Structure 1
Amino acid sequence: MGGYPVIKIENLKHYYTDADGNEVKALDGVSLEIEQGEFVAVIGANGSGKSTLARHLNCLLLPTDGRVEVGGMNTLDEKHMWDIRQQVGMVFQNPDNQIVAAIVEEDVAFGPENIGVPGPEIATRVAKALAAVSMTDYAKHAPHLLSGGQKQRVAIAGIMALEPKCIVLDEPTAMLDPQGRKEIVSTVRSLNKEKDITIVYITHYMTEALAADRVVVMEKGHIRFTGTPRQVFSRVDELEQLGLEAPLAAKVASELRKSGVDMPENIITDEELAQALCQ
């Protein structure tokens, strides 16, 4: 990791008025720093503010109060908006909403064309982006014939071709089957480790957050606690109070400990549970 914050959030508040005229505090004093090259997962029940937080990272939403800085640029400063959006790419739940062309490679080229990247360089970027998400063989395919996981990988390639420093993924596997979910997590992980791209990964699947360097747990517009996956998912009872399921292995280990079985602390993966049970 580079050791400097690529994203710096200070006392961020985001309030809006709902359909009944009530003020909703979607974010109420969130502070967080994310370093270059870090993989941060943000988890929380529905309404915890995690998607609202994601939309602040590339100026889709602006603070009611507090500040968000990306690469040292304040999101409230209009002259930086374009630069911030080039530094931070967003991937959403439904890949169909992000795919615009009839051929995969044309779709991936769409972003670079829009920002005026010269033709020969676009071809290089498209090839690199498709290779990075293991979709080179599908360059000439029609996106609508792809599986959900493949479409989402094309959407990620489209962001990659813009060469952002950071990719924010807002529940990118919500519409995918388990196989598609696996593909996306492994794609994101390799982009982070091999390309040093900072990842902010919003999810309600706890097992996906196991791939992160750090997990941020949100509730009702606040950060409740944060730590490594091992630190966070060992807190099984606290997670349940927040309406979150700890990974199954952590839960089983916790129940066994409560019933008097001698189990090591901090078990969070199936492999660790199996090993402890065999002993």
Structure 2
Amino acid sequence: MGEFISVKDMCHTYASHEGEQVQALDHINVSIAKGEFVAIIGTNGSGKSTLAKHFNALLIPTEGECIVNGLNTLDLDHVWKIRQAVGMVFQNPDNQIVATIVEEDIAFGPENLGVEPAEIRRRVAEALKDVGMEEYRNHSPHLLSGGQKQRVAIAGVLAMRSNCLVLDEPTAMLDPQGRREVLSTVLRLHREQKITIVYITHFMEEAVAADRVIVMGQGKVVMEGTPKDVFSQVTLLKELGLDVPVAAELSYHLRQRGINIPETVITDEALVVAVCP
């Protein structure tokens, strides 16, 4: 698959309001392959959002390096190319909408890149289709639900022809319906278009959908592996202050009671099969 993001021995330090130096990232080593879906989880202050902002050069390392698509984020000449390659979607959908009509909002990025009008129209139509929002192209974004607004934000990234999508807690402000809409859109883009996904979340049920989970704690990577590897470590995750998917926790308690449930059971479906074979 090849490496798309490579973080080597990276630190990030900033000055607090009191003027003290705070180490938000402490010698991080992470690599993300082209076409991979990686979820990053951790409590507030663990460094997960700070790490994500290095992936499109919103932040640059204090020490070490972050290489994105072969380009070093420390080289200012590369910033524009990196931001075209890696699109960010943030927590609050209202902060990402710039136009009064959905299709104009999606066209905003390509217009700034100087893309030809006919090509912009084609990209907007394609992006709307990709996120299932064609019928809303002439709507005002502010009349949409939170989940729909996030899908418009994702469409804006797709119209820029970004080949990596970094989503920083994109469902934190949404209701369950909006959360389902956003996650299923992201999963479809990953499956059908092989887009590289970095998905930061505090909803463990969302992280289960990833190929790999990275667990952050106090600015370090404390664990990584497949969702089954990570979420079977119920005690360790609880010690880190994290939840685990309900099915993983229930399986853990059933095992404590002597019921034979495999440690790899972390989804509702797998638990049903294990309990009622």
> TM-score per shorter chain, which class?
over 0.9
Aligned to 2:31, the other structure's residue is in SS state strand
Aligned to 1:276, the other structure's residue is in SS state helix
Question: Which runs of structure 2 are paired with 1:55-134 in the superposition (5 Å)?
Answer: 55-134=53-132
* TM-score, length-scaled by structure 2: 0.99
1:32 aligns with one of 30, 33, 37: 30
Deviations, residues 27-50 of structure 1 (Å, cap 9, x unaligned):
000011111000000000000000
* Distance in structure 2 (CA, Å) of the matches to 1:210 and 1:264: 16
* Distance in structure 1 (CA, Å) of the matches to 2:263 and 2:14: 42
* Superposition deviation, residue 239 in structure 1: 0.5
2:14 aligns with one of 13, 16, 35: 16
Question: Which runs of structure 2 are paired with 1:117-266 in the superposition (5 Å)?
Answer: 117-266=115-264
* Distance in structure 1 (CA, Å) of the matches to 2:181 and 2:225: 25
* Distance in structure 2 (CA, Å) of the matches to 1:181 and 1:206: 12
* Distance in structure 2 (CA, Å) of the matches to 1:118 and 1:29: 43
* Superposition deviation, residue 257 in structure 1: 0.6
Moved over 6 A (4+): none
Amino acid at match of 1:131: K
Moved more, 15-24 or 220-229: 15-24
CA RMSD of superposed structures (Å): 0.7
Aligned to 1:268: 266
Percent identity of paired positions between Structure 1 and Structure 2: 59
* Superposition deviation, residue 265 in structure 1: 2.1
Task: Flag structure 2 segments of 5+ consecutive residues without an equivalent.
Answer: none
Deviations, residues 4-29 of structure 1 (Å, cap 9, x unaligned):
11101001100111111221110000
Aligned to 1:260, the other structure's residue is in SS state coil
Aligned to 2:120, the other structure's residue is in SS state helix
* Superposition deviation, residue 143 in structure 1: 0.6
